[in-house]
Amino acid sequence: MPEKFDVIVVGAGPAGTSCAYLCAKNGLKVLQIERGEYPGAKNVMGGVLYKQQLEEIIPEFWKEAPIERPIVEQRMWLLDEESAITLGYKGQAWANEENYNNFTILRAKFDQWFAKKAQEQGVTLINETVVDACLVEEGKVIGVRTDRPDGDVYTDVVVLADGVNSLLAKQLGFHEEIEPAQVALTVMEVLNLPAETINERFNLEDGQGCTIEMFGDATKGHLGTAFLYTNKESLNIGVGTTLSSLVNSKMKPYDLLEYVKNHPIVKPLIKGAEEAEYLAHLIPEGGYHAIPKLVGDGVIVAGDAAQLVNGIHREGSNMAMKSGSFAAEAILLAKQTGKYTEEVLDIYREKVYESFIGKDLEKYKDATETLENHPQYLKEYIPMLNRAARTFFTVDGISKQEKQRGIFNMFMERGKIRTVQDMYRAWKVMK
């Protein structure tokens, strides 16, 4: 008889490892299966990790985790072809340990560290192994089939944390084929640059970091964002747009990244940096409407596999960790009852929907679709705002009042009613 585990977690990203860690910590026999050569080998994100959700699992993790820089400044750029409106916040409050908000991390390093912490709790981690299917008996998931010889393993409950486009959840009928508008393709590069140069160019103290989000011309007006984040001795620069806009516009993602890197506002910041790594990954952007069935008999779906990403606020890994923690709580509860049925595990679904995860995703539930269907926000309004700012700040003998009138007329050129409709729609999806 093959070995049986209490829990099998598929995937060693933030969701899977959070769940595995907490289950093992509470005495369960946990098997975690990762397809990459090591945890993090195949995982990609822009690079921002929020503190709180991991702090709840490992208090003061930043003291030993391989973090790059705590973030003290967040900038947002509304880009036109050669200009930008810049917004942002910088505060020393985020520079104190107890008030850290988020960090930049490099996933290959961070995920390995996190998985190691889980192994220390007793998790059995198997790398380089693909789970081909869940083993189902009378509608109940009883184990997994890996792609290795003698590859069946049995368990009470399987956690699908296998990432965006979870084929396992799809096999179980938890979601349909993912639509191109529900995922973004993000491509990014890690650019090596000495710490002092980063500090100077981004106006940072040693050991403090900054993030920049770019909208508008960074994606040539298509739905998506570009980003530039500071690591210790490197920068992460990347751009992500929905798969559907890439298809419709026939843009190539790496061309878009080259475009961002050569943008006159971006170029001086990355000048002379050495390309160290190139990464690409799908990011779930379907939001609230795309969340699949989360629970079945003997099975839970967490993290990207459950589409738990807030694209507007670039939150994903924190939601993954929180959902992994909720999954562990539900499993521990099920262990007490001895039953791993959908009814018992349903507490996981409730927790997800009642927490900030469900609430935030619901808040922006129509944002992606609205922006996709109404490209004028990124394509027309951002350039207009840039023109307005330039007009207003240029001193050329024209009175401020006249300038204001000119700007007002520019916005109303689209037709008063249309402009008002656009403003109302934007308020409605963001409120």
Partner 1 sequence: MHIVVCVKQVPDTKVIKINPKTNTLDRRGVPSIMNPYDAHAVQEAVRLKREYGGKVSVLSMGPPQAEAVIKKSIEIGADEGYLISDRAFAGADTLATSYALTKALEKISSASPIDMIFCGKHAIDGDTGQVGPGIASRLDIPPVTNITSITKVTKDYVELQRKLQDGYAHIRTTLPCLITIEKEINEIEYAPFPNMLKAVSCQPVVWNVDQLGEVDRKQLGLKGSPTVVGKMFAPPKQEGGHRLEGSPQEQVDQLLHVLQEKRHLFHKKGGAAV
**Where along the sequence are the contacts to partner 1 (CB under 8 A)?**
2-3, 124-126, 129, 146-153
> What is the spatial distance between Cα 106 and Cα 67, in angstroms, rounded to a whole number?
7
User: In angstroms, what is the minimal distance from the CB of 296 to partner 1?
Assistant: 24
- For the CB of residue 123, give the shortest distance to partner 1 in the complex, in Å: 10
Give me the least distance between CB of 40 and partner 1, in Å please: 13
CB of 148 to partner 1, least distance (A): 4
In the complex, least distance from residue 207 CB atom to partner 1, rounded to whole angstroms: 21
Of 125 and 319, nearer to partner 1 (C-beta) is 125
CB nearer to partner 1: give 277 or 366.
277
Q: What is the 3-state secondary structure (H, E, C) of 329-374?
A: HHHHHHHHHCCCCHHHHHHHHHHHHHCHHHHHHHHCCCHHHHHHHC
Angle between helices 342-354 and 356-363 (to 10 degrees): 60
Nearer to partner 1, 148 or 387 (CB): 148
d(CA 92, CA 99): 9
Region for 396 from its dihedrals, namely left if φ exceeds 0, alpha if ψ lies in -120 to 50, beta otherwise: alpha
Give residues with Cβ within 8 angstroms of 151, minimum separation 6: 129, 132, 145
Query: Residue 404: enclosing H or E segment and its boundaries?
Result: helix 400-412
Nearer to partner 1, 73 or 156 (CB): 156
* CB nearer partner 1, residue 65 or residue 389: 65
Output the CA torsion 313→314→317→321 (10° steps). 10
Please, are residues 77 and 84 in contact by the beta-carbon 8 Å criterion?
Answer: yes
Q: Kindly tell me which of 98 and 150 has the beta carbon lying closer to partner 1.
A: 150
Q: In the bound complex, what is the minimum distance in angstroms from residue 124's beta carbon to partner 1?
A: 5
Whole-angstrom distance, CA of residue 349 vs CA of residue 385: 42
